Amino acid sequence: MHIINPYLLYYNTKTTKCQEKNDIGWLNLFSLDIYSFIWYNEKQINNLSNTIIKMRKRLFILIFTLCFSLIFPLSLTAEEILKIGKVEFEGNETFSDDILRSFARLQRGTQFDEFSVKAGKSRIENFYKSQGFLDVALKWERRLEGNEVNNIVHIQEGERAVIDTVIFNGNTFFSDEKLLSLSPIKAGGFLIQTEIFTTKYSILKVYSRKGYIRTQVVSDTLQERKNHYILTFDIVEGSRVYIGAISITGTRKVRKKIIEREIKVKPGNPCNPERVNESQIGIYSTGLFESVKYDIIEPADGDTADIIFYVKERPSKTITFSTGYVYSDKNPNRLSLKTTWRHNNLWGNAQKIGISPRYETNFSGYRNGRIELAYEEPYLLATTFKGGLNLFIQREKRNGEWVDVIGSDVNVGKYWSRYTQGALRYQYENIITRDKDTTERWVSSVYLSFSYDRKNDIFYPSKGVVFLATHQYAGGMLGGDVDYHKILIEHILYERVFPGVIATRVKAGCIWNDRNMPFQDKFAIGGMGSVRGFDEESIGPVVNGRRNANLTIIVNCEFRLSVFERFDLVYFFDTGGLWKNLQSVSITENTGISGGVGIGYRSPIGPIELNYAHRLTGPSGGNFYFTIGYMF
C-alpha cells in the first residue's frame, strides 16, 4: 500500500528555513533534525514555533497513517483482493465482443480498480461515436462472485449517423470529382471519423505533390435532420511553392555528384515533399552515410523554398567478422568463420570492392574454404543500373573426396522502386572432383532474380515482409557440361505481437531437366539455416553417398521476446523435407521437425545468440548453436 502525503517537510540548509513541498511518497522521519536550526532573532523564533506546531500535527497524521497502512494489509488475504472477472456485452449488433474487449483493456485476473473500468467505458463510447453512433448509451453492471468482479456492459447503439452530401469549398486547382475520388467517403455512407481524417490527409497529400505545401483543410458537419449530416471540407489552397536552391552539407570524401544523382527534385520544380523524402532515402541507400536529414527552408513571403541536405559519412573502409559454432550430440561439432574487408567509396565515386575469406570445419573429415573478390559499380555506364564482377575459389574435402571450384560471374541490377529490385547474372564455373578418379566439369548458367524487401530494420526487424525469387538456367544454348533448371522461392513475414515479434519463413525449391548436375548445386537441408537440431545435410534420401535432391520445402517460425534491456528470449520451430521428385513427396519420410529455445543479446553489430534445438523426429537429442545474426 502506498501512502499519499502531499506535505513533505524538508530542511533547506542554504536559507535555514523549514519549507513545505508538495510531493507524493514516503517520509523519512529520521531525516528531520529540528535541533539543527540556526537562531538569529525573535522573529525567526516565532516563525519556528509556528512551524513546529504545524509539524507536530502533520507528524501525528503521518504516524497514524503509517501504522494504519502497516496493520490494515495484514488483515487482507490474497483471496479477498478484488480481481477483474468476465467482461461480457449485451445489445452490440455492429461490433463483436472481441473488438469491444480490445478497447475495454480489462484483463481477467488483474486487480480491480474503478479508474480502469471508467477508462474502459470511455474508450468504448469514443469508439462507437467515431464510427457514427453518436447517441450510443452504455450501462455498466457489476456482479461480485467470490473475489471476482464480473462486468456486463449493456449497449444501446442507437441509429447510425449518415452522410447525405459531401461538399468541397475553396478548391480551384482540383475539381470536386477529383477530391471525392481520393476519399473513402461517399454520399449515403456512415459518418466515420477515421474516413474523414483519411480524406483530409489525402487532400493535403495530392496538393503537396503539386507544390501547394501551405494548403489547409478543415472539416465540419452540419445536421440536416436527425442522424443525417452534410459533410464539408473547407480548403485554403495558398500559393504554389517552387524549389529554389539545393545545397548539401557534411560531405568529406564522398563527391557531391554521387549525392546529386539520388536527388529526385531540381531547382524550379514545384516543391514536392514526397519527392524530397524519396531523395533522402536514395542518398541513404547508397550505404555511404550514417545519417541523412533535410530541411525545407520556406520564407514567410515569396514562392520559393530552399532545400538543405545534411549528411554524415560512414567510414569508407570496413571489416566485419562472423562466426558460428554447432555442438552436436551425435556427430562432430562444426565451426564456421568468415571475415570481410570492404571499401565502400573507391576513388570517391561510390564504387565498392571487397574480399571475403570463409572457412568451415567439423574437426574430422570435412573442411570447406572459399575466397571471394567482389567489385560493384553503382552507376553502370552513367545509368541507374548497377553492375558487378565476382571472382571466387573454393576447396572442399568430404569423406576423402576433394572438390575444387574456380569461377566468376558478372551481374546487372536495378531498383525498380523503393522496395523492389531485379537482377540478371551470368556465372561460369570449373569444377574438379578428385577421389579415386578425377573428373572435370564446366558449368555455364544465368540467374534471373527478383526481390521485395519491406522490413522496417536491417538487424532487428519487427514488422514487414521479404520476398525473394530466383530462376537459374544452366547449359543448353549457354554451353558447358551440365544442364538444369533451378527455382528457389523464399517468403519471410515479421509481425509485432505484444510483447514480442513473430517471424515466419517459408522456403521452397525445385530442380528439373538436370544432367550431370554437381551435387553441391542440388538442395541439402538439416542444421543451421534450415532445420536446426539436425546435423548438416542429414535429412533426405541418400544419392551416391550424399543427401542431396531436387525438391525441398522448409518452414521456420520464431517468437522473439525482449525480457531485459538488450537481452531476448527466442522460441522457435523448424520443419522441412527433401525429396527426389514430386512423386516421392511424403510427410513421414525424408522430413525433420525440431523445436528449441535460445537467448540473445542485441549488440551494435546485430543479435548474438546461443540456441538449443531439440529433434522432435528421428534420433533423440539436439544441437547447440552460437551465432551472430538471426537465421532470417
What DSSP designation does 315 have? Answer: P
Confidence check: pLDDT of 36 > 70? no
Sign of CA dihedral 87, 88, 92, 94: positive
Give the neighbor-by-neighbor strand order of the sheet with 162-169.
Answer: 162-169, 228-236, 216-225
| Structure confidence at residue 323 as a pLDDT band (50, 70, 90) | confident
Q: How many Cα atoms occupy the beta-carbon half-sphere of 509 within 13 Å?
A: 25
Instruction: In whole angstroms, give the CA distance from residue 234 to residue 169.
Output: 5
Instruction: In whole angstroms, give the CA distance from residue 338 to residue 357.
Output: 6
| Structure confidence at residue 382 as a pLDDT band (50, 70, 90) | confident
Query: Residue 72: what pLDDT?
Result: 43
How open is the CA angle 397-401-406, to the nearest 5 degrees? Answer: 65
The overall pTM is greater than 0.75: no
| Structure confidence at residue 27 as a pLDDT band (50, 70, 90) | very low
Query: Residue 334: what pLDDT?
Result: 82
Question: Do the beta carbons of residue 255 and residue 283 sit within 8 Å?
Answer: no
Query: Residue 114: what pLDDT?
Result: 87
Query: Residue 20: what pLDDT?
Result: 34
Asked if domains 78-156 and 317-628 share a fold, the reply is no
Listed by start position, the domains of the chain span: 8-75, 78-156, 162-236, 242-313, 317-628
| Structure confidence at residue 108 as a pLDDT band (50, 70, 90) | confident
What DSSP string describes 378-401?
A: SSGGGSS-EEEEEEEEEEEEETTE
Query: Residue 17: what pLDDT?
Result: 34
Domain covering 78-156, topology: Ubiquitin-like (UB roll) (3.10.20)
Confidence check: pLDDT of 355 > 90? yes
**Quick one: what percent of the chain has pLDDT higher than 70?**
87
Mean of pLDDT over the chain: 85
Query: Residue 50: what pLDDT?
Result: 60
Residue with grid cell 480498480, as numbered in its chain: 113
| Structure confidence at residue 38 as a pLDDT band (50, 70, 90) | very low
Q: Phi-psi category of 48—alpha, beta or left, where left has phi over 0 and alpha has psi -120 to 50?
A: alpha
Question: Do the beta carbons of residue 611 and residue 590 sit within 8 Å?
Answer: no
Question: Do the beta carbons of residue 503 and residue 557 sit within 8 Å?
Answer: yes
Confidence check: pLDDT of 230 > 90? yes
Confidence check: pLDDT of 35 > 60? no
| Structure confidence at residue 33 as a pLDDT band (50, 70, 90) | very low
Query: Residue 40: what pLDDT?
Result: 34
CATH of 317-628, one of 2.60.40.10, 2.40.160.50, 3.40.50.720, 3.40.50.280: 2.40.160.50
Query: Residue 473: what pLDDT?
Result: 97
| Structure confidence at residue 70 as a pLDDT band (50, 70, 90) | very low
- The superfamily in CATH containing domain 242-313 is membrane protein fhac (3.10.20.310)
The residue among 311 and 146 whose pLDDT is bigger is: 311
What average pLDDT score do residues 563-580 get?
A: 93
What average pLDDT score do residues 334-354 get?
A: 89
Query: Residue 467: what pLDDT?
Result: 97
Instruction: In whole angstroms, give the CA distance from residue 381 to residue 386.
Output: 9
Query: Residue 62: what pLDDT?
Result: 55
What average pLDDT score do residues 385-399 get?
A: 93
**CA of residue 502 relative to chain centroid, distance:** 10
Model confidence pLDDT, tens digit, residues 189-225: 999 999 999 999 999 999 999 999 999 999 999 998 8
Lowest mean pLDDT among 321-325, 342-346, 412-416, 467-471: 321-325
Query: Residue 298: what pLDDT?
Result: 82
Confidence check: pLDDT of 14 > 50? no
Lowest mean pLDDT among 11-25, 99-113, 324-338, 395-409: 11-25
Question: Do the beta carbons of residue 568 and residue 599 sit within 8 Å?
Answer: yes
What average pLDDT score do residues 474-487 get?
A: 95
What average pLDDT score do residues 462-491 get?
A: 96
Lowest mean pLDDT among 97-111, 198-212, 290-304: 290-304
| Structure confidence at residue 333 as a pLDDT band (50, 70, 90) | confident
Model confidence pLDDT, tens digit, residues 514-549: 999 988 889 999 998 899 999 888 999 998 778 999
3-state secondary structure 170-231: CCCCCCHHHHHHCCCCCCCCECCHHHHHHHHHHHHHHHHHCCCCCCEEEEEEEEEECCEEEE
CATH, domain range 162-236 = 3.10.20.310
